[in-house]
Structures are given as C-alpha cells and as structure tokens.
A and B are shown apart, each in its own frame.
Chain A
Amino acid sequence: MSRHETVIGLEIHAQLKTESKIFCSCSTRFGGEPNENTCPVCFGMPGVLPVLNKKAVEYGIKMALAVDCRINSRSIFARKNYFYPDLPKGYQISQYEEPLAEHGRISILSGDGEKVIGITRIHMEEDAGKSIHSSTENVSYVDLNRTGVPLLEIVSEPDMRTPREAVAYLKALRGILLYLEICDGNMEEGSFRCDANVSIRPRGQEEYGTRTEIKNMNSFRHVQKALEYEVGRQIDLVEDGEKVVQETRLFDVEKGVTRSMRGKEEAHDYRYFPDPDLTPLIIDPDWVEILRADLPELPIARQKRFVSDYSLPDADALVLTSEKDLADFFETAVAEYNQPKKICNWIMGELLGKLNERGLSISGAKITPGQLAALVRLVDEDKISGKIAKQVFVEVFDKGIDPEKVVEEKGLVQISDSSALEAVVDEVLGAHPDEVQRYKDGQKKLLGFFVGRIIKETKGQANPGVVNKIRSRKLG
C-alpha cells in the first residue's frame, strides 16, 4: 500500500434537456446553423432582462431530491465576472452564496462494495457559447447557440480515494440524470462534463495536500487515465522533495498526460455579486413535495429489485440498470415472456455484443423487447436450436423483423420429426460404411463424427436430442 492517500473531488456540469434556454426563449437544440438559436439576451444587448425557465428549476429540484440534498427555499443568482468572447455580457449568471441545494449524498458501487459520497452543493447557471480559433488568420469565430443553455453544476465533497471511485461516482450521477430524464449524459458532445480536483497526502494526515484542477476529460476512460496520471505525477513530485503547485491542468488525450495551462490562473478573480436583474428564487415547499412524489425509481433501487425480483446476479443487474433504456428493454421483454435469466443472458451476451460492435445504444437498435422475448420462446419451445437462434438474432438485430418471420422465410425450423430425421441418419450411415464398421468394432469416439455429419446434412436444423435417439437405436 502506498504511503500516500489520494483525495479527489469532482465538479459536474450537466446540460438540462429543456426545450428553451434558461433565461430566454431560444431553442436549446444541438447542431444546426451557427448563431441560429440566438436573441438579444444571448447577445448581451443593453437593456435586455433574463426571465427564468420554470422547467430548468424543476429539473434542478428533481436532481437535488434524488441525491438527498436540502433544497434552499430561497436561492440567489449571482454574476460571475470574466471576459471571454463566447460570453458577450462579460459575466455568467450563476449561483454563489445561496445555491439551489446543499448537503446531499449518493451511494456508489466501485468493486470495493457500497460507499457514500457527499454532495456539497447543486446550483444553476447558464452555459457559454463556443469559439473556433482560426489556424490561418488572427481571428476567432463565435457561435452563441449554446449561450444560455441551462446547466446544473454538481459539486462533490473530496470523498473519493481512487480514480476508480471517481469514475464510479460519475457513472452513478449520470445514471440518476438519465433516469430522471433531465440530461442526455453525452460526454463526447459535452452535455455531461467533468472537472476534477486532485491532491495527495501522507496516509493518516487530516489536512489536505495542495490540489490541482484537471479539465478536458471527455469520457469515463479519459477521467480514469487523467486521474491515474495526475496522482502518479504528484507522488513523484513529493517523493523527489518538490512541491505540488496549485494550478489548472488540461488532459492531453493523445499523450495520456496532464499539462499545466499557465497564465490563466492569475486572472481568477470573478468578483461575484448578486444579479440585480433577477429577484431571489423562492421555492414553494408544496412544489417540492409534488416533485418528490413524482420521482421515478432510481438506478440503485432498480438494481436491488432486479436481484431480488428476477434472481439476477449483482454484476448483471448493475449492467442492465446502468442505462435506463436498457433496463426498460429488459423489463418489457420479461413482461412478454417470463424467463428473466434467459432474457438477461441474451442481452448481456448477444445484444450488448452487437450494440458494441456497431457502436449503437439500445435506443438506436432496431430489435424490440418483444422480438427478443419471442426468440427466447422459440428456443424454449424447440422450434429452433440455440445455434440457429444466434443466426436468427443477427437478422432480427439488423433488420428489426420478427424472429418467427426470419425462421419461416429462411426455412430454419428445427427438424424434430423422427421420420424425416431417420432418412437423414440412414443416408449418413449408408455413405460411411467403413466408419460404421469401425464404430461397431469399438471405436466409440466416432460417435461425434456421425452426429456432426447429421447436423451438417440438415444445415444445423436437426434437433440434437432426436438425432441422438435415432442414432443409438440404429448403431447401438
């Protein structure tokens, strides 16, 4: 065990899936023409006033409730002042002194059992625009479509002790956002972003070491790699008698290292003050109670239910419930055909394998839960063999046609009819008199040869049980 203990805290920015922006009625749609979804509020024109989106507040409250936060009945919007062209007003509207919610917690599973991570605060703010820096000319291009998209910033306590725990926390938080259907959780497109504060300290020491802030991690894998690198870097510094400098570092995806972004640090004086354009946000406790009553089942609860109701192994239940759509797919299939373990196996094996191979998510797949259930039923009813079922699955997956139809059109029905199979058995035995003689003389391992031939003759459609019966009757 290392002499050093790692301390990690995470700041998450989650884009909320509202139809319109947080302080104006422009669309939040991603993609499209640059500056298409903008207005004088987005442009920071003099005299415009922000008007808060009720849905954004509702989503913030839902998230706060899902992670057991205390919701502040009065919260304050503040101006965070800095200059950057993708923020035309010269300040970002955020929350500072009195955030929407505080003091929450979330359970994570990281392989070392269940652990509770504290949530310091959740606040609301507006997203900034995007700029593209010209490589040939001395200019930057600014697109304000993202300006004003509602964000929830979720700040954790420095409770994580390994990069793996940090990733488990991120996954748990993302899972909740997806279950609440308030964020699409896409790390590559930036609708779910993560910055990490990392430090080390001698094991047993109370006081925290000097921390660095790590940015630019666009996937769970990046988070894991960036944090592992950064922890190693800090340990090397300290063991060489040097000091960790408090700074912001960017993860370099290509090289797998973190790099200092010097120069930006010094200017960090945001001069927060309450935004006079927005009155304090007063939250009616009745509204909170209505939202609380309406909360869906959350991932951890659903995972535990999958283990108890369907007798699934913990690991399978964790994978199935990690994505709401996947868990819904499973439960819809089980409602069609009550064989949870078999359906789970097909999802864990063939379905996730194919989705991975094609880079698809379950919501983008053509196969329906009913079709998967029907396929499992076909095998159980001996209509097709397990081997044929895998072929049928690929057809259903690619084309979204019913498995019964695939079986019928391709003539894949399992042959269980003894008289039909008997003819095939006779044919195979007749074609190999030498082998038959050797078998009868005691070379019993030729059995596999015969069965293989018979199955091949029927293109895999022979019912192996029936074949075996006929064979033993004929050959003894």
Chain B
Amino acid sequence: MKITREEVARIADLARLELKEEKVEKFAFQFSDIIGYMDKMNSLDTSGVEPLYSPSENRSVMREDKAKKDYRRKDLLSSAPDHDEEYLIVPKIL
C-alpha cells in the first residue's frame, strides 16, 4: 500500500510536527513499507483468534479510593515553561 505525501503531511499535522520537504518524502516511503508489512499480516486468517489488547498476562490492578497529597504545587509548576505560581501559562488558545 502506497502512503502519499499528503497523508504524511496530515499525520504530521495531527501530531503537531513540522517536517521539512525531504523528510516528507522519506517518511512517505517508510510509512508505505510499514503499512505494507501490516497488509501482509492482515492476509492471515485470524477470524477464530481473540484480539490481544495487552501482551501482559497480568489482570488489571486497582487501588483503593484514598486521596493523598504527595507533591507540592510549587515543585510541579517549576517544571513548566511558564507559570504565575498558581496557573500554568500557555500560548493563547481559541
């Protein structure tokens, strides 16, 4: 299956990635290869096989509903590019 440059550009846009022209070309080839490999796997008959959602054999682990406060706001905010000691500040949306 052939992935077009337009499709690469759209996926890059959805992932908020800016791609140089030559990269778009390169990724179009790579994507096509990967999807081609998936097509090959899809040719197998898996109609009687349960879908595998997780490779882990573990059952879901759940925690009890107890609220805790382990982190200080000051420390968390300090990891952000910008804040005013209360809010995170981001480029304007909308």
Contacts and interface: CB of A to CB of B under 8 A. Distances in A.
Interface of A: 18-20, 25-29, 33-40, 43, 45, 51-57, 76, 81, 83-85, 98, 131-134, 137-144, 267, 269, 271, 274, 276, 278-282
Contact of A54 (B14, B62, B90, B94): B62
6 contacts: A20-B68, A43-B76, A132-B87, A133-B93, A278-B60, A279-B60
B65 to A, nearest CB: 4
Contacts of A52: 60-63
B78 to A, nearest CB: 11
Q: Which 5 A-B pairs have the closest CB atoms?
A: A55-B65, A141-B87, A54-B62, A27-B67, A142-B88
Given A40-B76, A76-B53, A282 B59 contact: yes
Contact of A26 (B61, B69, B77, B84): B69
A137 B89 CA distance: 11
A378 to B, nearest CB: 46
A19 B14 CA distance: 35
B20 interface: no
A33 B73 contact: yes
B54 A51 contact: no
Given A43-B76, A83-B16, A269-B14, A34 B86 contact: yes
A35 B88 contact: yes
A84 B76 CA distance: 19
Nearest to A270: B14
B40 interface: no
A140 B90 contact: yes
Given A274-B54, A281-B60, A19 B71 contact: no
Given A43-B79, A282-B59, A267 B14 contact: yes
Interface residues of B, number: 34
Nearest to B61: A51
A98 B52 CA distance: 12
Contacts of B90: 85, 131, 139-142
A20 B70 CA distance: 13
B94 A133 contact: yes
Interface string B4-34: 0000000000101000000000000000000
B54 A276 contact: yes
B87 A53 contact: no
B53 to A, nearest CB: 5
B88 to A, nearest CB: 4
B16 A35 contact: no
Interface of B: 14, 16, 53-54, 56, 58-71, 73, 76-77, 79-80, 84, 86-94
Main secondary structure of the interface of B (DSSP, over half): loop
A29 B68 CA distance: 12
A274 B54 CA distance: 8
Contacts of B67: 19-20, 25-29
Contacts of A138: 91-92
Contacts of B63: 25, 51-54
Contacts of B70: 25, 39
A281 B73 CA distance: 32
B64 A39 contact: no
Given A25-B63, A34-B87, 18 more contacts: A19-B65, A25-B68, A26-B68, A33-B86, A35-B87, A37-B69, A38-B76, A39-B76, A40-B71, A52-B61, A53-B63, A54-B64, A57-B62, A84-B93, A140-B94, A142-B89, A144-B88, A278-B54
Contact of A20 (B66, B73, B77, B88): B66
Contacts of A131: 90, 93
A54 B65 contact: yes
B63 to A, nearest CB: 5
B93 A53 contact: no
Contacts of A27: 67, 69
Contact of A279 (B56, B91, B92): B56
A85 B88 CA distance: 9
Contact of B66 (A19, A43, A81, A141): A19
Nearest to A138: B92
A33 B73 CA distance: 10
Contacts of A140: 89-94
B54 A35 contact: no
B44 to A, nearest CB: 20
A38 B71 contact: yes
B56 to A, nearest CB: 5
Given A25-B68, A53-B63, A279-B56, A35 B86 contact: yes
A139 B79 contact: no
A76 to B, nearest CB: 5
A279 B54 contact: yes
A120 B76 CA distance: 40
Contacts of A85: 88, 90, 93
A35 B77 CA distance: 8
Contacts of A133: 92-94
A282 B59 CA distance: 7
A360 B76 CA distance: 39
Contacts of A137: 92
Contacts of A29: 67
